[in-house]
Amino acid sequence: MDNETFVAYASAAEVARKVGVSAATVVRFCQALGYKGYPHLQAAIRQGFPHAVATFRRIEERLASPIPKDDVLARVFAADIENIKRTMEYISPETFESAVAEIVQASDVLVAGDGASATPALFLGHSLKMMGFRAQVATAGGTSLPLELSALGPGDLLIAISFRRYLRPTVEAVSRAREAGAKVIAITDSELSPLAQTADHVFLVVTEGVAHSASLVVPLSLINAFIAALAFRRPQQTLSALRNVDAAYKDSQILLED
C-alpha cells in the first residue's frame, strides 16, 4: 500500500528482493488476496492511477470525434508546439547540464528503448557514435540488451527511454544498470513511470498525440538539445569524429556526390 508505484511496474522478482522473500511467495500472496497472479494485482493497481484512466478516456474521445481531414495538419502541429512548451516547464537548466556532464564523463554509454521508444533511442545512439562517444544501442529486446547490460559497470551510463505503455526490458535494464554501479538517465513521460523512480537524472517529456498514438516530437527535440550541448562541450572531439566518419563514407563510396 505504501509502494503502489513500485509494485505497479516492478517484476515479481524485484518485489521479492525488496521485501526479502521468494518470487513464489509474492505470487502466493497475490493469490491469497483473490487475484489470479501477480500481473492481475499490477493491473488493478494501475487502473487506480488517475493518468491511466484519463489516457484511455482521451483516446476514446478522440477516436469517437474524428478531426476534419482539412484540419489534421494544423491540429497536429499545434499539439506538438504545445507539448514543447509544457515540457520546457518541467526541465531545469541545472538538471540538463548535470546530465550533459554525465554523458561527457561516461566511459561507455548504452541507449535502450523498445517499441515506439526505439526511434529516439536509435537517433541518440547514432548521434553519439558520430560525435566520437563510445555508445551502443539496444532496441529489440532478446539477447541484445542483456548482452550490452552485462558490460556496464561503475563509470558507465545507461540512457533509458520509455513511454506509456512501459515495456519490461527497458524498465528492468534500469535496475540492472544501477546494480552494476552505472549511472542512469531516464527520458520518460510521467512521474509515475517506473524509470522515473530509480534514475539519477529524469527528463519528463510531453507526448500527447492528436489521435491514439504518442508524439515523439518532444523526445527528439530533447535529444537534439543534448547533441548540441555535447558538440559545444567537446568541439574538437566532435569535429575530429565527423571528419573520420566523412572519410569512411567516401572511402566506402556509399555517398551520392552532387
More confident residue, 249 or 69: 249
| Residue 124: band (very low, low, confident or very high) from pLDDT cuts 50, 70, 90 | very high
Q: What is the largest CA-CA distance in the chain?
A: 70
| Residue 171: band (very low, low, confident or very high) from pLDDT cuts 50, 70, 90 | confident
pLDDT at 211: 74
Residues 2 and 98: their CA atoms lie apart, in Å, by 31
pLDDT at 177: 92
- Per-residue model confidence as pLDDT tens digits over 86-116: 899 889 999 999 999 999 999 999 999 988 8
Q: Does residue 135 have a pLDDT over 70?
A: yes
- How many CB atoms are located within 10 Å of the residue 189 CB? 24
Q: CB–CB of 121/216 below 8 Å? A: no
Lowest mean pLDDT among 62-71, 78-87, 119-128, 197-206: 62-71
How far does Cα 70 stand from its chain's mean position? 33
- Measured in degrees and rounded to the nearest 5, phi and psi for residue 186 equal -115, 135
Q: Does residue 172 have a pLDDT over 70?
A: yes
Helix boundaries (H) for 204-258: 217-233, 235-252
Length of the chain measured in residues: 258
- Per-residue model confidence as pLDDT tens digits over 217-239: 999 999 999 999 999 999 999 99
Residues 188 and 191: their CA atoms lie apart, in Å, by 8
pLDDT at 50: 54
- How many CB atoms are located within 10 Å of the residue 141 CB? 17
pLDDT at 58: 57
pLDDT at 240: 92
**Dihedral angle sign, alpha carbons of residues 237, 240, 243, 244:** negative
C-alpha cell at 5: 508505484
- How many CB atoms are located within 10 Å of the residue 61 CB? 9
Residues 143 and 32: their CA atoms lie apart, in Å, by 35
Over range 206-211, report the average pLDDT: 83
Q: Does residue 156 have a pLDDT over 90?
A: yes
Closest to 96 (Cα-Cα) out of 201, 14, 191, 214 = 201
C-alpha cell at 48: 487506480
Closest to 223 (Cα-Cα) out of 143, 145, 135, 152 = 135
Closest to 198 (Cα-Cα) out of 222, 221, 167, 173 = 173
Report the DSSP beta bridge partners of residue 183.
Answer: 157
pLDDT at 67: 63
| Residue 49: band (very low, low, confident or very high) from pLDDT cuts 50, 70, 90 | low
Q: Does residue 63 have a pLDDT over 80?
A: no
> What are the domain boundaries of the chain?
4-48, 69-246
What is the fold, at CATH topology level, of the domain defined by 69-246?
Answer: Rossmann fold (3.40.50)
